[in-house]
């Protein structure tokens, strides 16, 4: 574009133009001018993070009909279109130059054709609407972790979400540009496209979510669902993973949690779980200290693994949240503060209802399907429940009583352990420690399996291999990603311990062997292990707790009796299932990940040999008593 300044002065009002002028950066101006011209909005509003700007966005979301007020002050609701309530994996792709590939497990498209396609969709897509330009920070501001971001969208709902989820970035752009240090920033272009009378997307067939790695840009069209439209979330993860791979740090799908130990000690954990596998509830364990529930940047700072939450808010799954199991979150969701509920049922009295909330099931209301009543079915005769299984809430972490005071610490927090967990009904024990960093990255992280859930569009209940719970968001090959994690420990004075957890283990009769709140005990045991306070028992797959330690922790932590029978059933060494798992993952990595590190197969082969030797000595399913667990 020959004259970006001319475009900006002609299309922006005086206030918005003056906001941009404070950011002295021709490349940013060219980017903004190009998409103002291309998307062709009627008006443009620049958000400078002032209280007046934030209030303008709040009111725009109500005025535009993208949100509606609820009975509790500060609470609003939003609906996505029927069929637009989860991440669209089919139409999400990473754009690569012709001839470049990331492997069959990662969706990519040839850049030139896909770029042309999405720009054809974006042409004049904002005609008749307002464009919002906003600035954010991924990670705390003015930190080695900070990544500046600029977002263009015509959705006031998306901007409102991002205000709650991310740290303001306008002043960071001003400061860096004037210091000549705005060399890299992420760019996001989003449009909800044509909307119907309910203010939801009409043209889902033109839904596209493309990530252009080589220009640090994300394009998202004809979608409102946060996972597709909030560019700074999982879409930005692809950009950050690529950047991290080039610079030697990690971008992970991980919660950050401070667990309290003896004498007031706090040990920080990072934990990776696929969606709907207990990640948010773990991050909010009662009595512990929450730093984040979703995405972490981890760096080696002077030989110490330190991490930050890239966000300052939570875009959480609301299904199953109830007063008994989630008292802290329940209190926040029912108190006057700023919250956006999406795809829940809105009742006539301005209250909301969701699946497994508890209490009486409402007779009627409105939800993402329109007017709802008990017994309503979809076009295929399938019952429509009160809320979508992937219904969400958005709130600032400061709304929660357990938020850690170091949430915005630019230095980050020191990580004592990393934890991997998924939905596994028959193989992994509830908690287990890896023998060392390499063993943990490979046998806990890289071969993580989990059943699919409602967080992605498609069939539920399918077991999938999901390395580090991050496969959907990778922008490097799986083999390279595993090697990044293996290499990260080099130069660390004391690498974090690595554990696996499993909240979804079932007995031979199909009954659950874990209760929802048991996870608090597993984390207390891990905290003691990180600090060398209790011994553990070696098994072929890792180290497990002693019964005596768990019995005490159950009583102290959740006031529950823990029996020897509980222990034996949970910590059986499931040799056939573990051998089958090794066979499954070996086949997957052999056939689909050609650049798998050689050490990956060596570590799995060593684990297989230990399992076979143990079977020869003790049989198919020896209980932990044979190792002195009782």
- pLDDT, tens digit, for every residue of 157-178? 999 999 999 999 999 999 999 9
Joined tokens for residue 16:
């918005």
- With a cut of 60, say whether residue 453 has pLDDT above it: no
pLDDT of residue 614: 95
CA 122 to chain centre: 27
The pLDDT of 504-531, averaged and rounded, is 95
What is this structure's pTM?
A: 0.94
- With a cut of 60, say whether residue 455 has pLDDT above it: no
What number of other Cβ atoms are within 10 A of residue 218's Cβ? 25
- With a cut of 80, say whether residue 153 has pLDDT above it: yes
pLDDT of residue 454: 53
- Look at the alpha carbons of 404, 405, 407, 413 in this order and tell me if their dihedral is positive or negative: negative
Q: Kindly report, residue by residue over 384-393, the tens digit of the pLDDT.
A: 999 999 999 9
pLDDT of residue 459: 59
The backbone torsions φ and ψ at residue 501, rounded to the nearest 5 degrees and listed phi first, read -135, 160
- With a cut of 90, say whether residue 333 has pLDDT above it: yes
- With a cut of 80, say whether residue 1 has pLDDT above it: no
pLDDT of residue 233: 92
Window from 116-130, 268-282, 522-536 with minimum mean pLDDT: 268-282
**Of 332 and 275, the one with more pLDDT:** 332
pLDDT of residue 604: 98
- With a cut of 80, say whether residue 460 has pLDDT above it: no
Q: Kindly report, residue by residue over 567-615, the tens digit of the pLDDT.
A: 999 999 999 999 999 999 999 999 999 999 999 999 999 999 999 999 9
Contact criterion met (CB below 8 Å) for 569 and 426: no
Q: What is the dihedral of CA 153, 157, 161, 163, to 10 degrees?
A: 70
CA-angle at 546, arms to 542 and 550, nearest 5°: 115
pLDDT of residue 562: 97
The pLDDT of 445-457, averaged and rounded, is 75
Active site residues per annotation: 277
Joined tokens for residue 607:
């684990």
pLDDT of residue 452: 65
Where do we find the tokens 């991440």?
87
- With a cut of 80, say whether residue 458 has pLDDT above it: no
Window from 120-124, 283-287, 409-413, 536-540 with minimum mean pLDDT: 283-287
Joined tokens for residue 538:
């070696």
Return d(Cα 409, Cα 443) in angstroms, integer.
32
The pLDDT of 118-135, averaged and rounded, is 98
Helix, strand, or coil (residue 210): strand
Q: How confident is the model at residue 179 (pLDDT cuts 50, 70, 90)?
A: very high
The pLDDT of 459-469, averaged and rounded, is 81
Return d(Cα 229, Cα 81) in angstroms, integer.
13
Return d(Cα 68, Cα 348) in angstroms, integer.
13
The proportion of the chain whose per-residue pLDDT surpasses 90, expressed as a percent, equals 90
Residue 458's closest CA among 79, 204, 86?
86
Q: Which domains does the chain carry?
A: 4-247 (3.40.449.10), 250-312+407-627 (3.90.228.20), 315-399 (2.170.8.10)
The pLDDT of 334-363, averaged and rounded, is 96
Contact criterion met (CB below 8 Å) for 29 and 133: no
The pLDDT of 72-93, averaged and rounded, is 94
Helix, strand, or coil (residue 312): coil
Report the relative pairing of strands 250-252 and 296-301 from DSSP bridges: antiparallel
pLDDT of residue 626: 83
Q: How confident is the model at residue 451 (pLDDT cuts 50, 70, 90)?
A: confident
Return d(Cα 463, Cα 447) in angstroms, integer.
12
- With a cut of 90, say whether residue 26 has pLDDT above it: yes
- With a cut of 60, say whether residue 13 has pLDDT above it: yes
Joined tokens for residue 111:
């850049």
Indicate the average pLDDT of the chain: 95
């Amino acid at each position: 574009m020959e004259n970006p300044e001319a475009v900006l002065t002609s299309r922006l009002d005086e206030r918005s133009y003056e906001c941009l002028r404070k950011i002295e950066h021709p490349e940013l101006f060219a980017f903004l001018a190009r998409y103002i011209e291309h998307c062709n909005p009627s008006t443009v509003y620049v958000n400078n993070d002032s209280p007046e700007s934030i209030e303008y966005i709040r009111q725009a979301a109500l005025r535009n009909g993208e949100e509606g007020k609820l009975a509790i002050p500060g609470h609003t609701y939003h609906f996505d279109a029927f069929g637009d309530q989860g991440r669209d994996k089919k139409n999400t792709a990473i754009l690569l130059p012709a001839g470049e590939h990331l492997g069959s497990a990662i969706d990519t498209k040839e850049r030139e054709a896909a770029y042309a396609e999405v720009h054809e969709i974006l042409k004049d897509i904002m005609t008749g609407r307002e464009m919002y330009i906003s600035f954010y920070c991924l990670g705390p501001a003015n930190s080695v972790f900070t990544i500046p971001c600029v977002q263009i969208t015509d959705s006031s709902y998306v901007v409102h979400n991002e205000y709650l989820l991310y740290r303001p970035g306008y002043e960071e752009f001003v400061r860096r540009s004037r210091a000549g240090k705005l060399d890299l920033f992420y760019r996001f272009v989003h449009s909800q496209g044509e909307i119907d009378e309910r203010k939801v997307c009409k043209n889902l067939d033109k839904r596209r979510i493309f990530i252009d790695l080589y220009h640090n840009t994300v394009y998202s069209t004809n979608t409102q669902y946060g996972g597709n439209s909030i560019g700074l979330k999982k879409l930005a993860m692809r950009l950050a993973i690529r950047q991290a791979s080039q610079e030697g740090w990690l971008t992970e799908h991980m919660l950050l949690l401070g667990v309290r130990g003896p004498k007031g000690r706090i040990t920080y954990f990072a934990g990776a779980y696929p969606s709907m596998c207990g990640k948010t509830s773990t991050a909010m364990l009662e009595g512990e200290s929450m730093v984040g529930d979703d995405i972490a940047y981890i760096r080696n700072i002077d030989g110490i693994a330190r991490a930050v939450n890239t966000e300052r808010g939570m875009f959480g799954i609301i299904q199953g949240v109830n007063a008994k199991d989630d008292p802290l979150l329940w209190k926040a969701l029912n108190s006057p503060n700023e919250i956006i509920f999406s795809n829940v049922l809105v009742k006539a009295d301005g209250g909301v209802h969701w699946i497994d909330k508890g209490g009486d099931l409402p007779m009627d209301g409105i939800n993402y399907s329109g007017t709802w009543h008990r017994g309503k079915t979809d076009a295929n005769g399938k019952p429509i429940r009160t809320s979508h299984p992937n219904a969400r809430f958005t709130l600032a972490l400061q709304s929660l009583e357990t938020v850690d005071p170091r949430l915005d610490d630019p230095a980050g927090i020191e990580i004592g352990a990393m934890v991997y967990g998924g939905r596994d009904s028959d193989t992994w024990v509830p908690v287990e420690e890896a023998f060392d960093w390499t063993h943990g990255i490979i046998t806990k992280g890289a071969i993580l399996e989990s059943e699919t859930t409602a967080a992605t569009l498609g069939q539920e209940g399918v077991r999938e291999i999901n390395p580090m719970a991050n496969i959907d968001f990778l922008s490097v090959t799986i083999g390279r990603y595993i090697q990044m994690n293996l290499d990260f420990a080099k130069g660390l004075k004391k690498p974090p311990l690595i554990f696996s957890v499993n909240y979804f283990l079932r007995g031979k009769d199909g009954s659950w062997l874990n209760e929802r709140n048991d996870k608090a005990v597993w984390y207390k045991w891990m905290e003691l292990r990180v600090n060398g306070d209790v011994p553990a028992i070696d098994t072929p797959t890792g180290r497990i707790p002693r019964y005596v330690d768990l019995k005490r922790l159950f009583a102290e932590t959740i006031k529950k009796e823990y029996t020897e029978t509980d222990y034996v059933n949970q910590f059986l060494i499931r040799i056939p299932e573990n051998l089958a798992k090794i066979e499954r993952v070996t086949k997957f990595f052999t056939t689909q990940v050609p650049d798998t590190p050689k050490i990956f197969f060596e570590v799995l082969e060593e684990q297989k040999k230990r399992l076979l030797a143990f079977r020869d000595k003790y049989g198919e399913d020896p209980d932990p008593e044979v190792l002195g667990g009782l």
